[in-house]
Structure 1
């Protein structure tokens, strides 16, 4: 997936923040992570499936880079 596609999906999550959408990312049909936008603190929360560790990113570019890195 291209970084532009990931950025577009994150922008969509942010735009529809009142809908509480969670986007799941998989690699070879294996769930790798999920991401949602937290309106209350204006950040993207990434939850890594294997470890259940959550990380928050205020900058959309940082969140996209973390997603791309996890999918490699």
Structure 2
């Protein structure tokens, strides 16, 4: 997934901010990262599922870079 595709996905999450949408990514049928948008905080939350670590990011560029870091080592 390219950085442009990730940003588009994050923009879509923000657009539907009145809904609770979570994108969960998996590799070999194992979930490893998820992302959702919280309207009340105006922030994205990225969760590393296996490590149980959450990051809150307040702008789309930062969120896209963090998500890209998690996605591209797996798929490249």
Instruction: Give the alignment's TM-score, normalised by structure 2.
Output: 0.87
Give the Cα separation in 2 of the matches to 1:10 and 1:36. Answer: 8
The RMSD of aligned alpha carbons is: 1.1
Question: Which SS does the other structure have where 1:31 is aligned?
Answer: strand
Match of 2:50 in 1: 50
Match of 1:32 in 2: 32
Give the Cα separation in 1 of the matches to 2:22 and 2:8. Answer: 14
Question: Which SS does the other structure have where 1:8 is aligned?
Answer: helix
Alpha carbons of 1:28 and 1:64: their partners in 2 closer, same or farther (altered >3 Å)? farther
In structure 1, runs of 5+ residues without a counterpart are none
1:2 maps onto 2:26 in alignment? no
Alignment of 1:53-68 (within 5 A): 53-68=53-68
Give the Cα separation in 1 of the matches to 2:13 and 2:52. Answer: 21
